[in-house]
Amino acid sequence: MTRPRRPIRRACLAATLLLPALPVAAGDDAPKPAGPAPAFQGGGSFVETFASLGDRRWYVSDGWVNGDHQGCTWSHQRVQIPTPGELTLSLTDSPYKDRAFSCAEIQTKARYGYGTYEIRMRVGAASGLVSAFFTYNGPEDGDRSTNDEIDFEFLGKDPKGVQLNYFTGGAGEHETVESLGFDASTTMADYALEWLPDRLRWSVNGRLLREVRARPDKPIPSHPGKIMLAIWIGQGRDIESWLGPARYPGRPIAATFERIAFTKLGDPCGFKGSIACR
């Protein structure tokens, strides 16, 4: 069944919410023939190896939820770098605000457009859970036409697959579930999104999982978006049809990230082994 539409995301709180121990920051419609699409703009190339979580690039979400479907509240305490080079986002049964669980999300301050997005990560596993890596440009300014999004969503009920999806102008229902050939909750793997003016390409360990080509009647995202990393758990009957019933295993669940990189379209690749080096 199609997942519920992502609700309008509330704006981040001020930088005072960032973890003191984790320094936390960063810079559309279909392309128009009169000029280049806005996604030719956006932030520049970078490689993040999580020696720390610097406040020039990242925000840490804290103190709110994204809707009634979310069974946890974003908490900066669930964002940690236990060892330099390893970021963990976790979900625990520590209540926060009006939710029984607390969970984690970080997002870039800048928005990024066409180029190659790469992440090395291991996801969490549990029914009702989502570990996510995606780009997001929400309609906070009231313009739904700019609500673009491109997703890797790992459903904890089946970590041997990944759900790939995108939204253009707020319109989704483009999801597919692709087999990974391994358990993403026990294997550190490299995932990549190539966002080009005429196509989207999702890959794992250099292997193409899915490609979508833009058509006049089926545009792809073209507005620069924030890069988002998150782990959360659902609640309610509607969300169960997508994620399965929420089942906390009695211990914290974590998604672990070792590297994230963005290579802007036309720039040289940023690290050895990047698919942008091809």
| Catalytic pick among 149, 173, 211, 258 | 149
Q: ∠ CA(39), CA(45), CA(46), 5° rounding?
A: 135
pTM exceeds 0.85, yes or no: yes
Q: Locate tokens 């794992």: which residue? A: 204
Predicted pLDDT at 170: 81
Q: Who contacts 251 (Cβ-Cβ below 8 Å, separation ≥6)? A: none
3-state secondary structure of 275: helix
**Measured CA distances, 168 to 54, 62, 118, 258 (Å):** 31, 27, 21, 29
Cβ atoms of 166 and 172 within 8 Å: the answer is: yes
- 175 burial (CB, 10 Å; 0-12 / 13-18 / 19+) is middle
Read off the pLDDT of residues 109-125 as tens digits, 9 standing for 90 and up. 999 999 999 999 999 99
Return the DSSP state at 239: H
Determine whether 153 is an active site residue: yes
User: How far apart, in whole angstroms, are the C-alpha atoms of residue 45 and residue 177?
Assistant: 29
Q: Residue type at 20? A: P
Instruction: Select from 123, 120, 75, 137 the least CA-distant residue to 102.
Output: 75
- Per run of 10 residues, the mean pLDDT along the chain (length 278 residues) is 40 34 36 62 95 89 96 98 96 97 97 98 98 90 79 97 94 90 98 97 98 94 96 95 96 98 97 93
Dihedral in degrees, nearest 10, Cα atoms 27, 89, 229, 70: -120
Cβ atoms of 61 and 193 within 8 Å: the answer is: no
Predicted pLDDT at 138: 84
| Catalytic pick among 105, 118, 153, 194 | 153
Determine whether 258 is an active site residue: no
Return the DSSP state at 52: S
